[in-house]
Amino acid sequence: LEELGTLLAVGEAINNNGAKAVYTQTNDPNGNSVIAHAVLSNGKIDINSIKTFNTEGNGGQGLDAEGNPQPIDPLFSQGAITRGGLMLFAVNAGSNTLSMFNINPNDPTSLTLAGKPQNTLGEFPVSVAFSEKLQTACVVNGGKLNGISCFKANKDTGLTPLDNQQRPLEINTLSTPPVGPLGTVSHILFSPDSSNLFVTVKGNPEDSTAPLGFLGSFPVVDGKVSSDPIRKSTPNGSVVLFGSAFSGDNTFIATDAGFGAITLDIDPATGSANASSTTKVDGQVATCWAAFNKNTQTTFITDIGQPSINEVNAQGDIINTLNLEGVTGMIDIAASNNNFVYSLAPTESSLVVSQSLNNGLQQEQVLKMNLDNGLTTFMGMVVFQ
């Protein structure tokens, strides 16, 4: 792979405590690959270090309202890849499988497939979560056979199924691939203490049977994700819950494509969520992805229809906005400890690198990489640091 498009870098490096590598995946229906990029000590991506690794599965594309394959954000999700420790996980939506890689700690752009991809017990997996505490990966399927299945992760043997059947989401997805993005599965993630597994599902205002989405949860009992029926909560004011990030042990920030983002207070005992603040983004088209930075204690959100990154504080206020040139919108996003933020601009097959500084978000560098096949199906963003 030689092209990933325009790379925008914002700000200079601070120290060596930030990202050492960033990962995304092609989500190519003809053969999915994880792409690894080395990150220099100044926070910028080394354009000469790109490597690709076959997942031994295929990517997938959801359908638009006319039944055509969705070229941009084709999984309608956040978290198509995730990382924990020296393990990396990637969904293969077109193969209904989950792949696991081991990361070389001496060269984090070097990945080795661990075992074989495992069947997800459903159709069209779109997002994966990993708990280092539990050494467990859970994947959410977003097709007609939707639900959640979990695996024990081991660096030597790879993924071992923990379930014989999925945990149903109790949503009425009519097809595989699903028609979206409205009414589809968005994101799966563990709480910071691994006491609960959460999933966000979008509402569909055009569907009278499911106009509102929900935050679903499963408690962890005796070290395993419960198979009891899903607990659902629809926070006041939410409609199209999408990508999300924990900003505290029981504080959850979810983007909402209807207006921007919503901050939720979670009751870990019941999984219920109450809105503590809403963030309305002026001129937004579909704000759908979020990443929390522990260093700045702020959350970064992106919009597939706007070339901007918004930085949101704990009170839900937008404190910085970066408007970028050369891209039309961004999807998946990840933050590093030294205040750099890495996100995908799929229309241009691009990576965007930005940094939060005392005087705001600033743009500094534009890099380009060449791609022969013109893919725009890229999904997922995660850092190694």
Closest among 108, 101, 160, 113 to 134, alpha carbons compared: 160
348: which DSSP letter? G
The most distant pair of C-alpha atoms in the chain lies apart, rounded to whole Å, by 53
Which residues, 6 or more positions from 118, have their beta carbon under 8 angstroms from its beta carbon?
Answer: 97, 98, 151, 158, 159, 160, 161
pLDDT of residue 368: 54
Could you say which DSSP state residue 45 is in?
Answer: B
Give the C-alpha separation, 203 to 185, whole Å. Answer: 9
User: How many angstroms from the chain centroid is the CA of residue 382?
Assistant: 8
Backbone angles phi, psi at 348, to 5 degrees: -95, 10
pLDDT digits (tens, 9 = 90+) for 88-97: 999 999 999 9
Candidate from 185-194, 274-283, 346-355 with smallest mean pLDDT: 346-355
pLDDT tens digits, residue range 302-342? Answer: 999 999 999 999 999 999 999 988 888 999 999 998 889 99
Quote the CA–CA distance of 255 and 279 in Å, as a whole number: 9
Q: In the chain, what is the straight-line distance between the N-terminal and C-terminal CA atoms, in Å? A: 24
As beta bridge partners, residue 246 has 252
Cβ atoms of 272 and 295 closer than 8 Å = no
pLDDT score of 371 more than 70: no
Residue 353 scores a pLDDT above 90: no
Give me the pLDDT at residue 374, please.
73
Q: For residue 63, which amino acid is it? A: L
Question: Average pLDDT in the 189-213 region?
Answer: 92
Amino acid at 237: G
Compute the mean pLDDT over every residue in the chain, rounded to the nearest whole number: 90
- Provide mean pLDDT across the span 104-111: 96
Q: Mean pLDDT, to the nearest integer, of 177-201?
A: 97
- Show Cβ contacts of residue 205 under 8 Å, excluding neighbours closer than 6 positions: 182, 211, 239, 240, 258
The confidence score (pLDDT) of residue 364 equals: 59
Give the separation between CA 20 and CA 26, rounded to whole angstroms.
Answer: 20
- Segment 282-310 shows an average pLDDT of 94
pLDDT of amino acid 5 = 37
**Does residue 167 contact residue 198 with C-beta atoms inside 8 Å?**
no
Residue that the structure tokens 């699903």 belong to: 178
Phi first, then psi: give them for residue 80, nearest 5 degrees: -65, -25
CA distance 124 to 140: 8
Rounded mean pLDDT, 68-96: 97
* 54-66 pLDDT per residue, tens: 999 999 999 999 9
How large is the average pLDDT for residues 198-203? Answer: 97
- Residue 134's φ and ψ, nearest 5 degrees, are -90, -10
Length of the chain measured in residues: 385
Predicted local distance difference test score (pLDDT) of residue 205: 86
Compute the average pLDDT of residues 195-222: 92
**Confidence at residue 92, expressed as pLDDT on a 0 to 100 scale:** 98
- SS3 state of residue 96: coil
pLDDT in tens, 1-37: 333 333 444 333 333 456 799 999 999 999 999 999 9
60 residue type, one letter: G
pLDDT at residue 148, as a whole number: 98
Residue among 28, 217, 60 nearest 142 (CA) = 60
Q: Is the pLDDT of residue 375 over 90?
A: no
Choose among 75, 64, 68, 95: nearest CA to 24: 75
- Give the Cα separation of 257 and 277 in Å (integer): 16
* Beta carbons of 57 and 40 less than 8 angstroms apart: no
Angle CA(316)–CA(322)–CA(323) in degrees, nearest 5? 125
